Amino acid sequence: MTEPEPYSEELVAAIRARIRDVPDFPKPGIVFKDLTPVFADGPLFRRLIDELAASFDRAGVSAIAGIEARGFIPGAAVAASLGVGFHLLRKPGKLPSRVVRQTYDLEYGQDALELHHDAFEPGLQLGLIDDLLATGGTMAAALELVRSQGAEVPLVAFVVELGLLGGRRRLPKERVSPVVRF
C-alpha cells in the first residue's frame, strides 16, 4: 500500500507553532495538544482543510466521516470543500434514529461509537478523520464500525499523530495520513 503524499513543510511548521501544550490535562502527567488555536486561525485552518481535502481527493473518497467531537471540525470542512457527504460517528445516545454500535476498550473502561444504521450504501469510499491519533483505539473502532456497514476506507487522516503512544500499530493495514507528528 502506498503512503499518502506528505503535507507541505510550511503548513506543518505553522500548525506546530499554533498548537498549545496544556500540561496535566485531563489528568496529571498528560500534556494535552490543544488544536483550538489552529482552528481559530482562519487562514491556517483554510490551508489545513485545503491540504486534507487534496489528500482525500487523491485517495478517491466519495464521503467523509468524522469522529466525535473534535473530528467533526476538520471532517465537516473537508467534506464541504470536496462537495461530498459528511457522516457522524457519535458517542452513545446522541443519534436520533436506529444505530449500529462498536464498543472499544480504554485504559480505564469501555466506550463506544455509533452510526445510523442506514447512513450509507455498501461500497462507499469513505475517508475517516479525527483530530489526533494517540493510542489508536478510537480509530480502530471507527474502522470496524464503518466496515461492518460495507464502507471501504482508502484513507484515514489526523491533524496530529502522537507517535510515542503507538496508535499506528492498531491500524496496520491502513493508509494513515497525519499532518503533524510528535
Q: What are the extents of the domains in the chain? A: 9-181
Local confidence pLDDT in tens for the 182 residues of the chain: 567 888 999 999 999 999 999 999 999 999 999 999 999 999 999 999 999 999 999 999 999 999 999 999 999 999 999 999 999 999 999 999 999 999 998 777 899 999 999 999 999 999 999 999 999 999 999 999 999 999 999 999 999 999 999 999 999 889 999 999 99
Q: Which class would CATH give 9-181?
A: alpha beta
C-alpha cell at 54: 487534496
List 3, 9, 10, 107, catalytic entry: 107
70 is catalytic: yes
Rounded to whole angstroms, the Cα distance separating 148 from 77 reads 25
114 is catalytic: no
Rounded to whole angstroms, the Cα distance separating 15 from 94 reads 31
pLDDT at position 3 is 74
C-alpha cell at 110: 469501555
